Structure 1
Amino acid sequence: MTFDVIVIGGGSAGQSAALQLLRARRRVAVVDAGRPRNRRAAHAQGFFTRDGATPGSLLEISRAQLERYGTLEWVEGEAVGASGARDAFRVELAGGRMLEGRRLIFAVGVRDDLPGVEGLEPLWGREVFHCPYCHGYELERGDIGVIGSSELVVHMAELITEWGEVTFLPFGFVPDAGQVAAMEARGVRVESAALARLEAGPVAHLADGRALRFAGLFAASRVWPASPLPEALGCRVEETPMGGVLAVDAMGETSVAGVFSCGDAARQPHSIALAVGHGAMTGAGVHRSLVF
């Protein structure tokens, strides 16, 4: 069977795109490897009508609703290859199965390249966060550390003063006098000693031997599409100060005809709400490409 659309990625954006296509009575395969970026987060905050729900529960509810439509095939597995052209794509799954489809949607999410602080990775998504709108309120206006790994983090530190008392922890980047003055004008405390390592708590150990405990920490990761398949198929990746995104037009189509992308892999900044909206628009764009 040839599907109208193969969606690679069953997260918020992929399911939202699939919903629009299913409601247009199109045959859709969703290929999901079950590794959403927010799988470590205890709660999904700031999402309309579902504030505080667990990320997994949102995906379970959505999948159950998608499966009410008779033209869906949900494929649990990993896409390991993609080839072909508009109206004749082939997707290879781990295990050897091949899917054929007229259009592809890459809703593959992103991988985070984290600052190289010892002890950071196990705390990512639990005590070290990337988005104050997603996680700031729950810190109860406590002490917040910001890992100063680049010039971009200066702006982050200034913004996060809306959620608590902020300390800038230099790591591989030393702010100049003007940047220090700007942060201090917003109430940010700028440490002179560099951050050495982190441990659960979270606790920041500094190079001068001091240990500072925080309600939570924020860090700026650089992100890249989580799958190599779009680039291997020829989709253009644009590099930004925050990493790389798949270049798409207003309807979500990449530089390869018939190949679309939505969600975190194709836009910045990132949140569930933004991914859902982008997925809905891309799903409609794919449907229009099938009609016209």
Structure 2
Amino acid sequence: MKDFDVIIIGGSSAGLSSGMALGRAMRKILIIDSGKPCNSQTPHSHNFFTRDGQTPHEILTIAREQTLKYPTVTLLHSEATHCSPITNGFEVSTRSGETFSTKKVILAAGIKDQMPDIPGFAECWGISVIHCPYCHGYEYGHQRTGIFANGETAFEMAKLISNWTKDLTLFTNGKSTLTEEQQAIIHNNDIQIVEDEIEALDQHNGQINALRLRNGSEIKLKALYARLPFTQHSDIALQLGCQFTEQGHIQVDAKQKTTIPGIYAAGDSASGIRSIANGVNSGTMAGVMANLELIDEVFLVKE
């Protein structure tokens, strides 16, 4: 089968939930997935009813099995490399050499975090170097915690994470760009600001033990929060001319529609809320709205 109603690029939480919604709508669906989820190192996932504390791999395995039980849903283990408009839809090519046609496309390939050049950082990412207190804060509550950020981001993270622990140190990794007012507020909340550059993270199997500074000092930590820059995992949205937000996400409306007709986006690709629950929610919305558009294109043109 080379022709599909919808092709979904990305087969993690958002992509699979789109596929389930469309499979239950009896649409012919192809999910193209490269098998590189951004949460692959994360030991446990939280804030998702019935699956709290399970590994992302366990949740993904169940989701894949349940989505693929619908006979009109197909999963291809490959990478979508090109997408271009054709008459009545789009043509999608893969790294493995296949070409498919489709009426609609849902972009759900997620994002790639850009790691700083600090030894030990990448090894700890998703384990003890973490991005979200709602996902991981409970496990590190009331423990010695660092924040790796500067400027407005550092101020907002310090305020947020102080809800989970008061034992906080802010590492700006160079001269602080906080305003004097922000620095005063942070100090008034007993949060130390360290401007010295970071040499390395002392860690074992992804669990941070201490942060070493270039001035030779060492600070013991149990966790370090970081909000990293990122790129889109796939450049398909760029190829198609989709607009992006200032933060670098694919711009979508309340129906998960991009600025290009027939193209939807869901999950981390289109939102700064990085959670399985949000991926499932936005993915389901994208699938439902793509199906409604397909219905309208047939139902409303009949005389």
Q: Say which of 254, 262, 268 aligns to 2:266.
A: 262
Aligned to 1:187: 190
**Kept in 2: contact 1:81–1:229 (CA 8 A):** yes
Equivalent position amino acid for 1:29 in 2 = L
- Structure 2 equivalent of residue 212 of structure 1: 219
Given that 1:151 and 1:173 are in contact with CA atoms closer than 8 Å, whether structure 2 keeps it comes out as no
Q: Cα offset for 1:252? A: 1.2
- Give me the whole-angstrom Cα distance separating, in 1, the residues matched to 2:123 and 2:186: 28
166, 169, 172: which one aligns with 1:170: 172
Cα distance in 2 for partners of 1:271, 1:163 equals: 18
User: Relative to structure 1, is the Cα distance of residues 140 and 238 closer, same or farther in structure 2, using a 3 angstrom cutoff?
Assistant: closer
Note the alpha carbon deviations across 1:186-233, whole angstroms, 9 max, x for none.
Answer: 332223534333221332112331101111101111233211111112
- Structure 2 letter corresponding to 1:208: N
For the structure 1 residues 245 and 173, does the alpha-carbon distance in structure 2 shift closer, same or farther, using more than 3 Å as the test? farther
- Say yes or no: does 1:280 pair with 2:284: yes
Task: Map Cα deviations across residues 156-191 of structure 1 (whole Å, 9 max, x no partner).
Answer: 022112222111112134034322211123332223
User: Does the CA-based 8 Å contact 2:174-2:196 persist in structure 1?
Assistant: no
CA gap of 1:287–1:86, structure 2 versus 1, over 3 A, is: farther
Instruction: Tell me the residue number matched to 2:300.
Output: none
1:53 corresponds to which letter in structure 2? Q
Look up the match of 1:48. 49
Q: CA RMSD in A?
A: 1.6
Matches within 5 A, 1:57-68: 57-68=58-69
State the percentage of identical aligned residues: 34
Counterparts of 1:106 and 1:5, CA distance in 2: 11
The residue identity in structure 1 corresponding to 2:88 is D
Distance in 1, Cα, partners of 2:44 & 2:198: 28
Superposed CA offset, 1:46-86 (max 9, x none): 11121101001111101111121110111111111111247
**1:57 partner letter:** E
Query: Does the residue aligned with 1:162 lie in a helix, a strand or coil?
Result: coil
Question: What is the one-letter code of the residue matched to 1:271?
Answer: S
TM-score by length of 1: 0.94
Tell me the equivalent position of 2:76. 75
- Counterpart of 2:11, as a letter, is G
Q: Do the aligned partners of 1:224 and 1:265 also contact (CA within 8 Å) in 2?
A: no
SS, match of residue 184 in structure 1: helix
**Counterpart amino acid of residue 154 in structure 1:** F
Confirm or deny: 8 A CA contact 2:33 2:77 kept in the other structure. Answer: yes
User: Matches of 1:8 and 1:83 in 2, distance apart?
Assistant: 14
| Structure 2 partner of 1:8 | 9
Distance 1:86 1:129, change over 3 A: farther
Matched residue SS, 1:203: strand
Q: What is the alpha-carbon distance in structure 2 between the residues aligned to residue 150 and residue 176 of structure 1?
A: 8
SS, match of residue 103 in structure 1: strand
Which amino acid in 2 is paired with 1:97? E
Q: CA deviation at 1:6?
A: 0.4
Shift of 1:118: 4.1
Alignment partners' CA distance in 2, 1:116 and 1:151: 22
Match of 1:23 in 2: 24
Provide the C-alpha distance between the structure 1 equivalents of 2:295 and 2:175, rounded to a whole number of angstroms: 52
Partner secondary structure for residue 179 of structure 1: helix
Most deviating of 192-201 and 148-157: 192-201
Q: TM-score, normalised by structure 2?
A: 0.90
Matched residue type, 1:281 = M
Equivalent-residue separation in structure 2 for 1:271 and 1:48 (angstroms)? 12
Q: Residues 107-143 of structure 1, C-alpha deviation per residue, up to 9 Å, x if partnerless?
A: 0101112344443222211221111111111114210
Q: Secondary structure at the match of 1:17?
A: helix
